[in-house]
Amino acid sequence: MRSYSLIAPAKINLYLEIIGNAPGGYHELAMVLQSISLADRVHLRANGTQQFHCACNSNQVPQDKTNLAYRAAELMAKQFPQAFNRYGAVDINIEKQIPVAAGLAGGSSNAAAVLVGLNLIWQLGLTQPELQELAAQLGSDIPFCISGGTALATGRGEMLEPLPDLPPISVILAKYRSLEISTAWAYGTYRQKFGHTYVSEPEALLERRQRFHSGSMIAAIAHQDGQKIGQLLHNDLEKVALPAYPQVAQLRSAFENTDILGVMMSGSGPTVFALAESPEKAQQASITVKNTLNHPDLDFWVAQLIPCGIQIDH
Ligand code: C5P
């Protein structure tokens, strides 16, 4: 096939703990990542040239070489020059649904879709772990976006272990349209404030990873306990984002007064997500928060947790 359409889901962080420094200025993390049904569509079409093109229906997304999806295509061309010469470049067309710079890995998921799609168009036959190894060169969330579902992530976020699928839980996402938080700012500010608490010795790092593996969030997931999962949502980056962006803190508080399982900021924010027992309760919570805050700049989405990452759109 010379063209593929792929579904590229967003992710939320059910748990994000910052443990210490990782090589290259990154952070060593312990996370639980979860794919959700809010998704972009990424269309790839062989264009018969040696030049990739990237287009998107959102003007917030760069359509040049700085786009992560474009960089994913260039990485594939560099890694597999023979296939690139034989099959040529592709036009990348991104249909955006996932809000941009929102802590939902939208850009990472688009890049993951390009890796999966070019593997098919160029008939490379790479396995999922091989694609994920390449993905880690581009960004910490991209390996997860490929396989998706529910996963435990350590290292920079690229070391993944699948977790059991969660029971049917609904998720409400809320974001101020004009608000963006830079991921590099969030982690950099965290390091300035809490760097003195970082773990650095290899034994201590191992001990923290093991503690996470046997911790209560992983147990709650194993027991499919939605109530517990809601109570145990955690994100260290809230410690820097909420004081700097009081409107995010206010949004989070507004959800606390509704019938939900739990509420948290996703990734480096500023999207706030809440888990609810049913689509009806999710809808009701979003209406209540909308009416409470009555802010014209606030967007809401209701989605479901899903057990997969990049899918071919048949
Ligand atoms: O890997 P990615 O490009 O998505 O990361 C964006 C930024 O987030 C990095 O440049 C870094 O500042 C920060 N980051 C980090 N530790 C991680 C992941 C991201 O410090 N594990």
State yes or no: is 290 an active-site residue. no
Beta bridge partners of 274: 172, 263
Helix, strand, coil percentages in the chain from 3-state DSSP, rounded to 5: 40, 30, 30
pLDDT at 160 over 90: yes
Q: Given this model, what pLDDT does residue 46 score? A: 97
Annotated binding-site members = 99-109
Query: Any alpha helices (H) in the chain, and if so which ranges?
Result: 68-79, 81-87, 106-121, 128-138, 142-147, 183-194, 202-213, 216-222, 226-232, 238-244, 246-256, 279-293
What DSSP character marks residue 305?
B
28 lines ligand 1 (CB under 6 A): no
The atom of ligand 1 lying closest to the CA of 141 is: 4
Helix (H, G, I), strand (E, B) or coil at 9: strand
pLDDT of residue 91: 97
Atom 19 of ligand 1, nearest CA residue: 26
Confidence of residue 252 (pLDDT cuts 50, 70, 90): very high
What is the predicted pLDDT for the residue at 205?
A: 87
Q: For ligand 1, is residue 139 a contact (CB within 6 Å)? A: yes
Cβ neighbours, 10 Å, residue 47: 16
Two tokens, residue 218: 């992983």
**H or E stretch covering 20:** strand 3-22
Phi first, then psi: give them for residue 249, nearest 5 degrees: -60, -40
Could you report the per-residue pLDDT of 255-301, keeping only the tens digit for each? 999 999 999 999 999 999 999 999 999 999 999 999 999 999 999 99
Instruction: Compute the CA torsion angle 23, 236, 293, 174 (nearest 10 deg).
Output: 50
User: Which pTM was predicted?
Assistant: 0.96
Active site residue 65: no
Write out pLDDT tens, residues 42-72.
999 999 999 999 999 999 898 888 999 999 9
The overall average pLDDT reported for the chain is 96
Annotated binding site for ATP: 99-109
| Cβ of residue 222 lying under 6 Å from some atom of ligand 1 | no
pLDDT over threshold 90, residue 309: yes
Pick the catalytic residue from 40, 96, 141, 281.
141
- Which ipTM was obtained for this model? 0.96
In the sheet that 262-265 helps form, which strands lie side by side, from edge to edge?
262-265, 272-276, 170-176, 298-304
Ligand 1 within 6 A of CB of 141: yes
Q: Is 29 in the pocket of ligand 1 (CB under 6 A)?
A: yes
Please give the number of the atom of ligand 1 that sits closest to the Cα of 108.
4
Question: How many residues in the chain?
Answer: 314
